[in-house]
Amino acid sequence: MEDQDLEIMPKFVPQLGELIELFEEIKRVEGDSPNKDFKDSKDKDALRSKDSPKSYLDSVLNVWKFLVEHYMWRLEIRLMEDLPRYYELYSIKELNDKIAPFLMNRMKEGATEVRLKAIDYFAKFMKINYISAKFKEMLKSIVEEFASSSCYQHRISFIFLFSKFGENFSRTFIKQNMLNLIFPLAGDKVSQVRRKFAENLLEIRKCFMVDDTEGIQKFNDVVRKLTTDSDKEVVAVSA
């Protein structure tokens, strides 16, 4: 996977996930990696030797970085569609060290389509990452780098993050960890943020617990406020 020629990428990237699975299977058969039966074991990380060959996950990241550098965003999205394969193949530690930071980067710096796809797969990764020691640290980073960001585009990204977490986590989790972070964005100083909040009212409402009367009342108050917003587009979307 060293030949990163621009012309071969459109054909190479769609096959990358399948190739990585094949290479890892060959390693397993040759005895260079643990038996696949141990894939889901909590001891998987311990089974991987420090002296094992360079992970093919590094090759995936190199291809991903190449696509970013050459503004090949459609292929970048195609590469991300294979991330669930890697979630199965590699340890949580390796995914936390390599995939998660780059996903965070793409959620902030990618083109709009790339950011949305990165947000989707980051939320799915966080679901399998729940028992990891790094989970709370990463959740804190989401708050600092998105919900409380000085960049309005990052705050908009948090609205999408909130919705995607709602699809992957329980309503109890959302109430305990994220609900208090979403409401301030309805009154954000930047109209684009308020507008995006208004556009996602239904998705946000789905994240409430049925018996959370206080939260639902607060949500209803926010909706009423949006219908009288100073921005006409916010009002139109909220109605």
pLDDT digits (tens, 9 = 90+) for 56-109: 999 999 999 999 999 999 999 999 999 999 999 999 999 999 999 999 999 999
Residues ≥6 apart with Cβ < 8 Å to 237: 195, 198, 199
Q: Which residue has the tokens 């909130």?
A: 162
178-203 mean pLDDT: 95
Return the pLDDT at 33.
44
- Structural contact between residues 129 and 91, judged by C-beta atoms closer than 8 angstroms: no
Residue 223 CA, chain-centre distance (Å), reads 27
| Predicted pLDDT at 5 | 76
* The pLDDT value given to residue 239: 79
Q: What is the pLDDT of residues 118-143, one digit of tens each?
A: 999 999 999 999 988 899 999 999 98
Give residue 220's pLDDT: 95
Q: What is the pLDDT of residue 4?
A: 53
| Residue 155 tokens, joined | 């705050």
d(CA 13, CA 116): 19
Q: What is the mean pLDDT of residues 161-178?
A: 94
From CA 183, how far away is CA 197, in angstroms rounded?
Answer: 9
Domain boundaries, the chain: 1-37+44-133
pLDDT given at position 54: 62
- Say whether pLDDT at 180 is over 70: yes
Q: How many CB atoms lie within 10 A of CB 24?
A: 21
Q: Residue 38: what pLDDT?
A: 45
pLDDT score for 44? 45
pTM above 0.95, yes or no: no
Work out whether the CA dihedral 117, 120, 122, 125 comes out positive or negative: negative
Report the pLDDT value the prediction gives residue 42, as an integer from 0 to 100. 45
> Region 34-48: what's the mean pLDDT?
46
- Percent of the chain scored above 70 by pLDDT? 88
